[in-house]
Amino acid sequence: MQPTVVEIDGFRGRLINASHADYDVARAIWNGAIDRRPHLIARCIGTADVVAAVRFARDHDLEIAIRGGGHGVAGTAVCDDGIVIDLSAMRGVRVDPAGLRAWVQGGGLWGDVDRETQAHGLATTGGIVSHTGVAGLTLGGGIGWLMRKHGLAVDNLLAADVVTADGERLGG
């Protein structure tokens, strides 16, 4: 059942539906051949928004697509008639130069990571294209310039804050 009211309890980000002026831009992804029309785009600003959006989708029997960088060639970052949980506003990167670690939010791009790590003379194995999302590339293995010496991006993942399909937050 698709809801007619565009409101999600506890959600602080932007909700965009087909009647919104930004709808076509918000549903566009890197692969321009993909033209899917979600019922709702939930542009999250934090993990609590992701939890609220997943629970909303579950309660209304909506298909879920997750958009980090929106760079995947198959177009899985957008779906027809479901909800896109859009992490593009969650691009924060924090670097601990002494511990040689970085924390990246779910919508972070490799260019964001490069910019912040290079400020400390650091680099990581990661995407070759700067506008690729960190989460998607890492979950797919993650080929990068430094992989021969340091492995795939996923080999360097130390922890993750995960929201399950039930809307439960794990980690963090």
Q: Are 83 and 56 in contact (CB under 8 A)?
A: yes
Phi, psi dihedrals of residue 163, rounded to the nearest 5°: -110, 120
Under 8 Å between Cβ of 134 and 156: no
Cβ atoms of 157 and 148 within 8 Å: the answer is no
Q: Tell me which residue range forms the domain holding 106.
A: 93-163
Structure tokens at 79: 């779906």
Q: How many residues belong to the chain?
A: 172
Angle at 156 between CA 155 and CA 157, to 5 degrees: 95
Q: Is residue 84 part of a domain?
A: yes
pTM (predicted TM-score): 0.92
Q: Which of 54, 89, 124 is the last residue of a domain?
A: 89
Does pLDDT of 4 surpass 80? no
Model confidence over 128-171: pLDDT tens digits? Answer: 999 999 999 999 999 999 999 999 999 999 999 999 999 999 98
